[in-house]
């Protein structure tokens, strides 16, 4: 083959382009594939991505082609996102309508012209239904009912008042901030203690991190009244983590009531179904807790009002009974007093006669007793006079002996006092030391250089301390 037979690369690519254009001109195909390597150029409103096909056993890629969507195709993708609440992004299993295109510079690709919304929704719903059936089949504490699902968690009884709450959410989450703000700025002045357990709350591949936070709440040993799971709004794929089997099972079995406030508006997640209570948004979760506590407060207020009303009714009834009893007592007392007044008059007449007889009898008894007592008194006085004379004689003898003994004791004490007097002690060679105007027997307050007074028997010495040493009383030099 000679040099004159070569062609340029662009010529070759043009021929390929012509061949592909002739083969696929005007043809479109509905293709099932997974989306990867997605990006979106906002300024041009063009989606770039790859469509891949994976094997059923090992998930290895068996086919791949570049893809793009622009113009009408981009509009259909936007409609898809609005209808499903799901962004067109990586890891989506889709059914798309494509046309084949070959560009001499960018190579072979497909243009996405349309996308089947129902296909994607059906895939997600199938996965979700399969997870629910597995949860019901493998866990006897999850029971399907006519109203949904009954779980260990949903069968727990909420505390009458919810005060301490563990919140599982993403850090710096707007949904968590809404929950916290609503709870802390409630209209009733309720005070809550909120402990945050931050984790990633989107993406099915982050389920393990989420489960670790549930375990951390359980292992904390803190007696939480409820666990709240919050997340703000987002695409449908962001909520796939809440349809995870392991998370649904853990929530269904969790020993603390779980309240969900996941900000999706279209569907209820599996986690919502397994929880004690589900609400649409973090704010709604906070409002539910406040309403729960308000219900308890209103019950207390109603009970208080009921007690007041019953007390008033009881008081009124008792007051009426007392008034009736008062009237009966007054009427009966008047009749009883009249009856007893007559009885008292008769008794007074009889008593007057009895008193006169008793007084006459007692008068005679007193006269006889006076005569006997007068004779006894004379004898008693004479006997007491003799006893007094005898005691007076004994007292004189005792007094003389006592005075003599006391005189001897006083003389002995005077001698002892004279012997112990300071003058007598000083005369024997002892001295009295004064420091700072006070007599002292210890040198704790005396330092070298201090002025002291030494009082002797016949003089007072004022001197300065030049030396100070300890003395224990055993020195025999004295």
CATH number at residue 31: 2.40.50.140
Domain count, the chain: 3
The answer as to whether 418 is a domain residue is no
Can you give the CATH number for the domain in which 249 is found? 3.40.50.280
Domain shared by 141 and 279, yes or no = yes
The answer as to whether 150 is a domain residue is yes
Residues of the chain with pLDDT under 50: 1, 476
Rounded Cα–Cα distance for residues 360 and 304 (Å): 75
Q: Which of 62, 92, 115 is the last residue of a domain?
A: 115
Give pLDDT, residue 196: 94
Rounded Cα–Cα distance for residues 400 and 395 (Å): 9
Nearest to 209 by CA among 199, 217, 222: 199
Give pLDDT, residue 247: 93
Domain shared by 162 and 283, yes or no = yes
Helix 72-84 and helix 117-138: axis angle, to 10°?
A: 30
Domain shared by 174 and 243, yes or no = yes
Handedness of CA 464, 466, 472, 476 (dihedral sign): negative
Give pLDDT, residue 1: 47
Query: What CA–CA distances, in Å, run from 293 to 47, 297, 298, 431, 455?
Result: 50, 6, 9, 88, 89
| Both structure tokens of 37 | 């390597």
pLDDT tens per residue across span 63-113: 999 999 999 999 999 988 887 767 788 878 889 999 999 988 888 999 999
In sequence order, what are the beta bridge partners of 33?
A: 94
Q: Are 152 and 253 in contact (CB under 8 A)?
A: yes
The answer as to whether 403 is a domain residue is no
Give pLDDT, residue 124: 72
Give pLDDT, residue 427: 78
Give pLDDT, residue 475: 56
β-strand 258-262 against 277-279: which pairing, if any? parallel
Domain shared by 50 and 77, yes or no = yes
Q: Collect all residues with Cβ–Cβ distance below 8 Å to 282 and sequence separation of at least 6.
A: 169, 175, 176, 178, 179, 182, 228, 230, 231, 232, 261, 263
The answer as to whether 477 is a domain residue is no
Which DSSP string corresponds to 42-83? TTTTEEEEEEEEE-TTT--EEEEEEEEE-THHHHHHHHHHHH
- SS3 category, 8: coil
The answer as to whether 9 is a domain residue is yes
- SS3 category, 168: strand
Give pLDDT, residue 57: 66
Domain shared by 271 and 174, yes or no = yes
- Domain with 199, as residue range(s), is 129-295
Helical (H) or strand (E) element with 120? helix 117-138
Length of the chain equals 478
Give pLDDT, residue 165: 97
The answer as to whether 48 is a domain residue is yes
């Amino acid at each position: 083959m000679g040099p004159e037979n070569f062609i340029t690369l662009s010529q070759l690519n043009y021929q390929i382009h012509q061949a592909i254009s002739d083969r696929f001109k005007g043809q479109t195909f509905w293709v099932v594939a997974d989306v990867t390597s997605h990006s979106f150029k906002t300024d041009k409103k063009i989606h770039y991505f790859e469509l891949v096909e994976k094997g059923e056993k090992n998930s290895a890629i068996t086919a791949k082609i570049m893809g793009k969507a622009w113009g009408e195709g981009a509009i259909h993708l936007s409609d898809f996102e609005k209808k499903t609440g799901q962004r067109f992004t990586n890891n989506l299993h889709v059914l798309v309508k494509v046309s084949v295109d070959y560009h001499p510079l960018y190579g072979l690709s497909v243009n996405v012209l349309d996308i089947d919304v129902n296909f994607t929704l059906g895939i997600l719903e199938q996965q979700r239904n399969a997870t629910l059936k597995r949860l019901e089949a493998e866990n006897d504490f999850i029971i399907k009912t006519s109203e949904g699902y009954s779980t260990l968690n949903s069968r727990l009884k909420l505390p009458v008042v919810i005060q301490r709450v563990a919140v599982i959410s993403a850090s710096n989450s707007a949904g968590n901030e809404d929950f916290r703000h609503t709870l802390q700025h409630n209209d009733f002045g309720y005070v809550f203690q909120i402990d945050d357990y931050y984790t990633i709350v989107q993406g099915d591949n982050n389920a393990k991190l989420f489960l670790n936070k549930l375990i951390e709440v359980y292992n904390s040993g803190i007696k939480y009244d409820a666990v709240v799971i919050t997340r703000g709004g987002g695409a449908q794929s962001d909520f796939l983590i809440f349809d995870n089997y392991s998370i649904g099972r853990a929530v269904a079995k969790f020993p603390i009531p779980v309240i969900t406030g996941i900000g999706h508006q279209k569907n209820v997640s599996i986690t919502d179904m397994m929880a004690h209570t589900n609400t649409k948004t973090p704010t709604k979760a906070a409002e539910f807790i406040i309403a729960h506590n308000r219900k308890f407060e209103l019950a207390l207020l109603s009970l208080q009002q009921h007690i007041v009303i019953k007390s008033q009714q009881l008081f009124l009834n008792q007051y009426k009974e007392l008034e009736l009893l008062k009237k009966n007592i007054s009427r009966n007392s008047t009749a009883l007093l009249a009856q007893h007044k007559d009885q008292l008059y008769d008794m007074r007449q009889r008593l007057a006669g009895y008193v006169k007889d008793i007084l006459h009898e007692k008068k005679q008894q007193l006269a006889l007793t006076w005569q006997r007592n007068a004779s006894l008194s004379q004898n008693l006085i004479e006997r007491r006079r003799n006893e007094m004379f005898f005691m007076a004689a004994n007292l004189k003898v005792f007094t003389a002996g006592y005075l003599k003994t006391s005189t001897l004791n006083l003389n002995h004490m005077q001698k002892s006092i004279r012997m112990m007097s300071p003058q007598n002690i000083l005369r024997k060679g002892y001295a009295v030391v004064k420091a700072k105007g006070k007599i002292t027997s210890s040198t704790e307050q005396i330092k070298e250089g201090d002025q002291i007074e030494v009082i002797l028997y016949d003089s007072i010495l004022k001197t300065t301390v030049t030396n100070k040493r300890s003395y224990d009383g055993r020195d025999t030099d004295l």
